[in-house]
Amino acid sequence: MAQLSQILKQATGVVASRGEGVLLYDEDDRRYLDFTAGIGVTSTGHCHPRVVEAAQRQVGTLIHGQYTTVLHRPLLTLVERLGDVLPPGLDRMFFANSGSEAIEAALRLSRQATGRPNIIVFHGGFHGRTVAAGSLTTSGTKFRSGFGPLMAGVHVSPFPDPGHFGWPTEQATEFALAQLDYILQTLSAPADTAAYSSSRYWVRAATCRQISASWRPAGTRRRARDAAGARRGADGFRPHGQVLAKRCKPSRTSTTRSPTCEALA
């Protein structure tokens, strides 16, 4: 008998039969308060009447207008509406099917635009499961183990996570910035570094947000500070965690420094 692959595990054993607002119902009609919101996908609640109405209307009009074959009005309207809310200068949209594809697009864009090969990511980030996105993912060995060799040109920098290091925020930030400098001095010269991803949060978001908020040209300490500021919302973007209120679990919560951190702090 066919079975669902066990490669992806579910967080709960619930078999959801329907959803309504913040509630999910299982096949025995038990109610659950859904704190995950489909990892941000159902941010208006399950089966919001306006979303249901719009989806039903669209399915009855045109189910799929493949966008390398034809354009269609909803696509063009979405581009316009996003253009209205994005900061000046972010005026090119690219749509993909998944977060991993968005990451791959950002990767290709930054390499092509800069002509540089390397990418720096924060330790503990999740970027997806495809080979390139998985090469940037360091939130668990399960995303890497047995799949190597992964993509070359990726360097991993510590994330300024006070909970992980057991340090005050300022100390964790200074440490992370110093380590980023160290990587730029010893592993990936600025002239070879296409981008770094400041994302440490699990996020389900439009490609444009991923490229603009998470991916930044890399190479200087000032830019590193800009990235730290971006996390705090200094550039007008809210940190992903605030947008979705869904943060990936720290890999470990510790009040002890690792020997490496002691040596380098």
Residue ranges that bind ligand PLP, judged by CB under 6 A: 39, 98-100, 103, 126-128, 199, 201-204
The percent helix, strand, coil of the chain (3-state, each to 5) is 40, 10, 50
* CB-based contact 180:224 (threshold 8 Å): yes
Q: Output the smallest distance, CB 100 to ligand PLP, in A.
A: 3
| Burial annotation 135-171 (CB, 10 A radius, 16+ → b, else e) | bbbbbeeebeeeeeeeeebbbbbbbbbeebbebeeee
Indicate the residue among 120 and 261 with the shorter CB distance to ligand PLP: 120
Indicate the residue among 100 and 135 with the shorter CB distance to ligand PLP: 100
Q: Output the smallest distance, CB 239 to ligand PLP, in A.
A: 12
Indicate the residue among 103 and 211 with the shorter CB distance to ligand PLP: 103
Indicate the residue among 103 and 195 with the shorter CB distance to ligand PLP: 103
Cis peptide before 88 (omega within 30 of 0): no
Residue nearest to ligand PLP as judged by C-beta position:
99
Q: Output the smallest distance, CB 199 to ligand PLP, in A.
A: 5
* CB-based contact 151:132 (threshold 8 Å): yes
- The DSSP call for residue 256 is S
Q: Output the smallest distance, CB 29 to ligand PLP, in A.
A: 29
**CB-side exposure of 209: number of CA atoms within 13 Å?**
15
Q: Output the smallest distance, CB 133 to ligand PLP, in A.
A: 6
Q: Output the smallest distance, CB 97 to ligand PLP, in A.
A: 8
CA 254 to chain centre: 24
Indicate the residue among 167 and 202 with the shorter CB distance to ligand PLP: 202
- Rounded distance between C-alpha atoms, residue 23 and residue 44, angstroms: 12
Indicate the residue among 98 and 251 with the shorter CB distance to ligand PLP: 98
Q: Of all helices (H) and strands (E), which one includes residue 197?
A: strand 193-197
